[in-house]
A and B are shown apart, each in its own frame.
Chain A
């Protein structure tokens, strides 16, 4: 799985962008999006997914069930 940002709730505060160890977050159409194939759920980097931990709006940076669980190499 990867994380995704629910666009309608994103305030575009940009806090998540520099925290991502995979540089998987970028600004698009006024909000921020996670490039799913780059997302590792921060496994191997941090205990918690950084985007979700820093996001100021609850339940906005969430697991994307459209992808299988990320497996560490």
Chain B
């Protein structure tokens, strides 16, 4: 691992040279990209993708599984599981900071009783909160009593809330029956490798059956347990998603194999996430200079795996104590102290009524969007562009450039639009100092996009974006995203044909690594 890390040292926090990058993308794509016409269903951004109808029915209202649902429904994590049974090189449990948004990090640990009270308090205050997940900060199944006690209490007081858990899989085979008994809706297993040779560079040790294992043996046991657990979940009819952390030079090429292995064992969704790595996190990878992937490297791998199975593109890598809608954490409002002081009355009927209104509103939006949506058509050639969009949700371009905490990225081609992910940025408009630096961060985050669609934008950032070769577009303010970017795309292709503009490759973009300053 040292060698691989050293080889990557030169590129930490830098965008790779274009040539090397494009070569990599070309290698990655190979089989995947030319099949666009035959795989039209992959391209529907807000739809069900390739999921079977019965699976889609189960996940369509789950904010973590549907890009479109997360604007309407909220989820929360409770940090009842502090202990872990493995060590990962991208995790350091000592670090905790309110400005830090990444898995494995929480501000306070809860007892199952406190957690259940918090769930009921949040569910009463946020009626669209429909999902409770236990994700750590350690491993939920390394704390089985606390995890299942929490589920038991929540199921008793708030039976309409769906239960989820996320695990490294080491203890999973021992608990599948209990998971089934508690009616857990979905399980996520983090599987980064299926080959111990690769795994030994990610997992320094595991604690299994009263013994610490290291090296290849540790990775082998972990992989076997993960895949066995996945098979058992599938056999028990429990939906299972697989998370993988993409670590350039360590498991990036190997993840294609992981994708095949988990698909063949029944995982319904694969979520390949970028490594979050910075020296200040104090992780092994952070300290030895292991870089995370660039935006284009991540996209290329996701595209390559998409031919195999449904890929998740909108994961925001939330903390283990996140509360609220994805991307807008409200955990600070529900600290233990505040929750204990709250007067809470759980009104299931009111929650149901509210959710029905949300659902109606959502259906109307989806219908309106689809009614106006048309494919550009084959005569638009094989040009593909990426577009960044500032949105507050509802499928519309309705956010001010300066207020956007993240941008949605769409790929547009003759085949239509495809949502490919989010780019997190610090709010440009903080009203404070160092705004130019922040603008620079935004530009780096969307550098691979031809245009950025906003509801409004000031003259200064407009000029800076233009100088960076990104077209700031405010002419589609409050319109639907997909038809706007398609209209823009058509115009773009016409201009390229008339020779007014040159279609050049936009290069790569950064994935934000540092602390996220929540609004």
User: A: which residues have CB within 8 A of B?
Assistant: 11-15, 18-19, 46-48, 50, 53-54, 56-57
Contacts and interface: CB of A to CB of B under 8 A. Distances in A.
Interface string B200-238: 000000010011100000000000000000000000000
Given A13-B84, A13-B93, A15-B84, A53 B138 contact: no
A57 B83 CA distance: 12
14 contacts: A11-B94, A12-B82, A14-B83, A15-B82, A15-B83, A15-B207, A46-B210, A48-B211, A53-B207, A53-B212, A54-B85, A54-B207, A56-B84, A57-B94
Given A12-B109, A19-B210, 18 more contacts: A11-B93, A11-B94, A12-B82, A13-B83, A13-B93, A14-B82, A14-B143, A15-B138, A15-B142, A46-B211, A48-B210, A48-B211, A53-B207, A53-B212, A54-B85, A54-B207, A56-B87, A56-B93
Nearest to A17: B83
A54 B171 CA distance: 14
A50 B83 CA distance: 14
Contacts of A50: 210
A47 B207 CA distance: 13
B23 to A, nearest CB: 40
Nearest to B109: A12
Contacts of B82: 11-15
Nearest to B207: A54
A47 B210 CA distance: 8
Interface in B141-188: 142-143, 145
B191 to A, nearest CB: 21
10 closest A-B pairs by beta carbon, nearest first, are A15-B83, A53-B212, A13-B82, A54-B207, A46-B210, A14-B83, A13-B83, A11-B93, A14-B82, A11-B94
Contacts of A15: 82-85, 138, 142, 207
Contacts of A53: 207, 210-212
Nearest to A21: B210
Contacts of B142: 15
A72 to B, nearest CB: 18
Interface in B331-376: none
Nearest to B210: A46
Nearest to B205: A53
A15 B211 CA distance: 13
B141 to A, nearest CB: 12
Contacts of A19: 210
Contacts of B109: 12
B93 to A, nearest CB: 5
Nearest to A45: B210
A18 B81 CA distance: 13
Nearest to A16: B83
A40 B207 CA distance: 20
A48 B205 CA distance: 14
Q: Which of B82, B83, B212 has the most CB of A within 10 A?
A: B83
B390 to A, nearest CB: 39
A5 to B, nearest CB: 14
Contacts of A48: 210-212
B138 A13 contact: yes
Contacts of B207: 15, 53-54
A62 to B, nearest CB: 15
Interface string B69-83: 000000000000011
Interface in B55-102: 82-85, 87, 93-94
B311 to A, nearest CB: 31
